[in-house]
Structure 1
Amino acid sequence: MHSAAELSPLGKSSPYIATYTPSLLFAISRVAKWAELGLTAQTLPYHGVDLWNCFELSWLLPSGKPVVAIGEFSIPADSPNIIESKSFKLYLNSLNQTVFASVADLVAVLETDLSAVAGKTVGVRVRSLADVAAEGVMSLPGLCIDELEVNISAYQQPRPELLRCDTTRIVEESLHSHLLKSNCPVTGQPDWGSVLVQYRGAALDHASLLAYLVSFRQHADFHEQCVERIFLDLQRLLEPQHLTVAARYVRRGGLDINPYRSTDPITPENRRLVRQ
């Protein structure tokens, strides 16, 4: 039996369609992956959003002149479906030879189509290259743990048993690493990311966190589920008063995916890192 992802365009040869074709979008239900983590739509222990950035967005003006821009898409973490990334790229490519009278008209079409596939309202912003360039790149807050001396030999699957904390100390801190890597569960291609952990709870051993994050290195899963797994493993260990886990992934196919999961409602800042 094939999984939903294996039935998607991912990993297959696909024709380039340059005129508006919303049927190219392919939904993958979150339910199966939630079930793997012991969750249901009714028991999600986090708030969050998946922020997608598209660097290959283009369409035609009524005059026939093309426009290029950067698209930002906010997909709620509790939406019934994720949008498979290659189908997303193919759909966006189908706008290349399509005429829109205004940016507002384009945004309305994007909101309608993407929300229908995700099963919940998707936020859309279309931004000029000048506006995004003016923001520059950001650095993740807090302490980078990548220079810690650790011995690591576990790479095949996440190893939450590596995590350690000191329950006698309650701390509030932000930690980040650029050493997150996992593999696409369909194509096996590498997904590179930077991860941020912000929490208030039992003091997390930094070296153990680094070893745990590296244990994802050969793990096959989608970006969203990797972040959810990290969130759940840290929540079980730390029993925190507050916890946010976010990852900023390197783009593939002109798209980057940036999942945010938090114990509290959040509106994350969407600014790219140097690798994005």
Structure 2
Amino acid sequence: MSIHGILGEQTTDYPTEYSPETLYPIARSMGRDAIGWQDDKLTVGVDWWQAFEISWLNPQGISQVAIARFSIPASSPFIVESKSLKLYLNSINFTEFASWNVVQALIAKDLSACLQADVQVALFGLNDDINGHETALLIAQPEGVCIDEALADSTDKVALTEHPDASLLSENEVGASDESVANDGTQPYTFYSNLLRSNCPVTNQPDWGTLAVSITTDKPFDNANMLRYILSFRQHNGFHEQCVEQIFADLSQYYQPSELIVRAWYTRRGGIDINPCRVSDISLLPKPSRLIRQ
């Protein structure tokens, strides 16, 4: 994956004046072409970006601070390079704005222009969650069963793989693990793992996250196999969005689910965390949230 931008640069000049041109788009097709699956099925969902270093000046010249959530539709032709977003947000630190609404509208306009999609922006005050705001950035807990101990009783050593391995989903078919569930009909499974890890395709720095899946299928389901599959991402180079889409594609092809939700909460870097979510139907889209590691 060849990407030209500022993410891999050793030294960076941080702008001190409003600089929307700093925003750098990356085509989603780069990651989706590597997956080699039906692109249209990967466009249903949202990427929630949460930024914790938002600041600007009010008309009196006093610094204002906020937390932001950017909602980027999965149908957008581009994502934004994360470091370029950080630089862009820093570029408004010493710019005066009449109100919070003006700042919110400006960021939405600039991100929408960069990504060629309707990007929604919400700004939160640091005390919004204390006041019980429904949309504030409260700490949440993933739903379902944590599968991180699914291999605790196994004697097999989990190998380090260079790329995600979907064949692990069918390894040791039902009956080989106490975590296996043989079903006679369609049923739902909801689980999560805190062991998702991949690498940035530009800097090779590790990205850590929590993965959550809700799936309805008539195929046998095995927690141990699922954990092996998640661990196969540990040395994979891929953006957050591409990793979630790869998981969505692999689970869709192997389990043929009637309903599927795949989402991840990645830990923060540079004051920004990225949280992609893909669903088999837009009616299944969950609410945005953040976890304790964010």
TM-score calculated relative to the size of structure 1: 0.94
Residue type at the aligned position of 1:32: M
Give me the whole-angstrom Cα distance separating, in 1, the residues matched to 2:143 and 2:43. 21
Question: In structure 2, do the counterparts of structure 1 residues 170 and 154 end up closer, same or farther at CA, with 3 Å as the change threshold?
Answer: farther
Residue type at the aligned position of 2:279: S
Q: Which moved more, 1:128-137 or 1:213-222?
A: 128-137
Give me the whole-angstrom Cα distance separating, in 1, the residues matched to 2:265 and 2:167. 25
Of the three residues 28, 31, 35, the one matched with 1:30 is 28
The 8 Å contact of residues 42 and 245 in structure 2, kept in 1 or not, is answered as: no
Of the three residues 78, 85, 92, the one matched with 1:88 is 85
The 5-angstrom pairing of residues 59-98 of structure 1 reads 59-98=56-95
Question: Structure 1 unaligned runs (5+)?
Answer: none
The 8 Å contact of residues 41 and 280 in structure 2, kept in 1 or not, is answered as: no
Q: CA deviation at 1:175?
A: 0.6
Q: Say whether 1:244 aligns with 2:261.
A: yes
> Could you say which residue in structure 1 is the equivalent of 2:178?
none
> Could you say which residue in structure 1 is the equivalent of 2:120?
123
Q: CA deviation at 1:46?
A: 5.0
Q: Percent identity?
A: 44
How many residue pairs align between the two structures? Answer: 272
Give me the whole-angstrom Cα distance separating, in 2, the residues matched to 1:169 and 1:38. 30
Task: Give the superposed CA RMSD.
Answer: 1.7
The 5-angstrom pairing of residues 197-276 of structure 1 reads 197-201=213-217, 202-265=219-282, 266-276=284-294
Please identify the structure whose Cα radius of gyration is greater.
2
Give me the whole-angstrom Cα distance separating, in 2, the residues matched to 1:230 and 1:254. 26
Q: CA deviation at 1:203?
A: 3.3
The 8 Å contact of residues 169 and 203 in structure 1, kept in 2 or not, is answered as: no
Q: CA deviation at 1:156?
A: 1.6
Give me the whole-angstrom Cα distance separating, in 2, the residues matched to 1:174 and 1:205. 12
Q: CA deviation at 1:169?
A: 4.3
Give me the whole-angstrom Cα distance separating, in 2, the residues matched to 1:132 and 1:155. 41
> Could you say which residue in structure 1 is the equivalent of 2:177?
none
Question: Structure 2 unaligned runs (5+)?
Answer: 175-181
For residues 236-256 of structure 1, the C-alpha deviation after alignment (integer angstroms, 9 at most, x for no partner) is: 111111000000000000000
Q: CA deviation at 1:217?
A: 0.3
For residues 167-207 of structure 1, the C-alpha deviation after alignment (integer angstroms, 9 at most, x for no partner) is: 74422121100000000011010000000010110232110
- After superposing on structure 2, the runs of 4+ consecutive aligned residues of structure 1 that deviate more than 6 Å are none
The 8 Å contact of residues 227 and 259 in structure 1, kept in 2 or not, is answered as: yes
Give me the whole-angstrom Cα distance separating, in 2, the residues matched to 1:138 and 1:217. 25
Give me the whole-angstrom Cα distance separating, in 1, the residues matched to 2:247 and 2:38. 17
Give me the whole-angstrom Cα distance separating, in 1, the residues matched to 2:32 and 2:183. 28
